[in-house]
Amino acid sequence: MHLLHVVGARPNFVKAAPVLRAIKRRGLRQTLVHTGQHYDRNMSDVFFTQLEIPEPDINLEVGSGSHAFQTSEIMRRFEPVVLEHKPDLVLVYGDVNSTVAAALVCAKLVVPVGHVEAGLRSFDRTMPEEVNRIVTDRLSDVLFTPSEDADANLQLEGVPSEKIHRVGNVMIDSLIQLLPAARSCHTNGFPERLALVTLHRPSNVDDSENLRRVLDSLRETSERIEIVFPVHPRTRQRIKEFGLSVPKLHLVDPLPYIEFLALQLRAAVVITDSGGIQEETTYLGVPCLTLRENTERPITVTMGTNILVGEDKNRLTRELHSILDGNGKKGVIPPLWDGHAGDRIAGIVQRF
Ligand code: UD1
């Protein structure tokens, strides 16, 4: 059995690490391909080091570009890799452009695909990731899901039950693995009590008015609590381009995984538009306000600490004050978010 993994962007690295480790323990042959979608040191290399992911065997060095450019360029560069290596199964992760591009190449070459984190749906096709999720699931032969809602979505779309395997949340495997390191991590220079912010979705940062409104609301909150904002390169570009001012917010470069986890542990509240952070805060029991109208991870709302505040900045301010007054949402950890999702995937792959 020869397994090939494809990763490209920051959240992929966190999801692939436990699977790579579990497959290695079983002694199966595996090859790691990095598409190069994320290439900055702090968006990529640091994650490989901290998550102890081996050096990629192949880097396609695709870099940035429009969705069509990035997706097609990954396909063009990945096809010869599949033809040369002839894998028995290709594992793709999450919902980024690298995920769908690799799945499409394999489908055309009739090479089986396994999708890790299958079945999540926001039902919002204006989100590029939703398109990536739908297409990838449609093309996949083995679908590894994190939660019951994901199974239900796939069944409604007509995916045969025998293809669906509920394995739990791989991102939480990585979190559990590195929690001791995060607990003892010295985040010197950061305030003791803080609100942690991340923002990178095109719908929040590509529109100048929208971005200005969010930053205004954060500035207002900074009267009550210090705000730490690790800025994604896309967001930094937009802040500069739109000439927005950000006094009183601690803007820092994207942080390594362990340092970011350490800040989440310490945060009174996390404000985000990321997918994975909604899950991490639910696991850690930290109140999370998500700046989106919908989520493909509804379990973080129904069971966890997540609240969708959408684009309503008054609601954001209201919920923030309520949390800072000590009325944060209490949640529970969803089933199978137990640190063993990677092992379950490896077991299924071995029997494939
Ligand atoms: C991608 C994913 C998104 C995920 C996010 C996590 C897709 C469609 N989106 O969005 O789901 O939540 O990663 O971070 O795949 N850039 C750099 N250095 C880098 C990478 C990007 O400077 O290492 C800049 C470039 O200007 C680039 C922009 O960021 O144009 C956006 O990068 P891109 O990979 O297109 O999408 P993300 O916004 O990172």
pLDDT digits (tens, 9 = 90+) for 213-230: 999 989 988 999 999 999
Query: Quick one: pLDDT at residue 312?
Result: 85
Which one-letter amino acid corresponds to residue 204? N
Percent of the chain whose pLDDT exceeds 70 = 100
pTM (two decimals): 0.97
- Among 2-11, 311-320, 323-332, 336-345, name the one with the lowest average pLDDT: 311-320
Q: Which two tokens stand for residue 322?
A: 């309520």
Position 197 pLDDT exceeds 90: yes
Ligand 1 atom closest to Cα of residue 9: 13
Instruction: Tell me how crowded residue 301 is: count the other CB atoms within 10 A of its CB.
Output: 18
Mean pLDDT, all residues of the chain: 96
Which entry of 5, 115, 165, 200 is annotated as an active-site residue?
200
Q: Report, as an integer, the average pLDDT of 77-104.
A: 98
CA of 66 to the centre of ligand 1 (A): 10
- The long-range contacts involving 257-260, CB below 8 angstroms and separated by at least 24 positions, are 257/14, 257/46, 257/47, 257/50, 257/51, 257/174, 257/178, 258/50, 258/178, 258/181, 258/182, 258/185, 259/182, 259/185, 259/187, 260/230
Give the domain ranges of the chain: 2-169+337-351, 181-327
> How confident is the model at residue 200, as a pLDDT?
96
Q: Average pLDDT, stretch 38-65?
A: 97
99 CA to middle of ligand 1, Å? 13
Sequence-ordered list of residues with C-beta below 8 angstroms from that of 351, at least 6 positions apart, any chain: none
The predicted pLDDT at position 340 comes to 98
Interval between CA 201 and ligand 1 midpoint (Å): 9
Q: Report the separation in Å between the CA atom of 224 and the middle of ligand 1, taken as the mean of its atom positions.
A: 32
What is the reported pLDDT for 198? 97
Residue with CA at minimum distance from ligand 1 atom 33: 64
* Residue 280 confidence (pLDDT): 98
Protein residue with least CA distance to atom 29, ligand 1: 234
The answer to whether the CB of 82 falls within 8 A of the CB of 72 is no
200 is catalytic: yes
Q: Note the pLDDT of residue 279.
A: 98
Asked if residue 188 has pLDDT above 90, the reply is: no
Specify the ligand 1 atom closest to the Cα of 40.
23
Q: Which CATH fold would you assign to the domain 2-169+337-351?
A: Rossmann fold (3.40.50)
Ligand 1 atom, smallest distance to 44 CA? 23
Closest residue to atom 2 of ligand 1, CA basis: 96
Q: Can you count the helices (H) and strands (E) in the chain?
A: 15, 13
Phi-psi region of 168 (alpha: psi -120 to 50; beta: other; left: phi over 0): left
pLDDT band at residue 303 using 50, 70 and 90 as cut-offs = very high
The C-alpha atoms of residue 215 and residue 312 are separated, in whole angstroms, by: 13
Question: For position 240, what pLDDT does the model report?
Answer: 96
Lowest mean pLDDT among 24-28, 70-74, 79-83, 222-226: 222-226
pLDDT attached to residue 187? 86
Q: What is the CATH class of 181-327?
A: alpha beta
- The C-alpha atoms of residue 196 and residue 271 are separated, in whole angstroms, by 6
User: Pocket residues for ligand 1 (CB within 6 Å)?
Assistant: 9-11, 37-40, 43, 64, 95-97, 128-129, 200, 233-234, 274
The predicted structure's pLDDT at residue 24 = 98
| 201 Cα nearest atom in ligand 1 | 38
- Per CATH, 2-169+337-351 and 181-327 having the same topology is answered yes
Count of CB atoms situated within 10 Å of the CB of 80: 10
> How do residues 266-293 score in pLDDT, each as one tens digit?
999 999 999 999 999 999 999 999 999 9
Write down the pLDDT at residue 247. Answer: 82
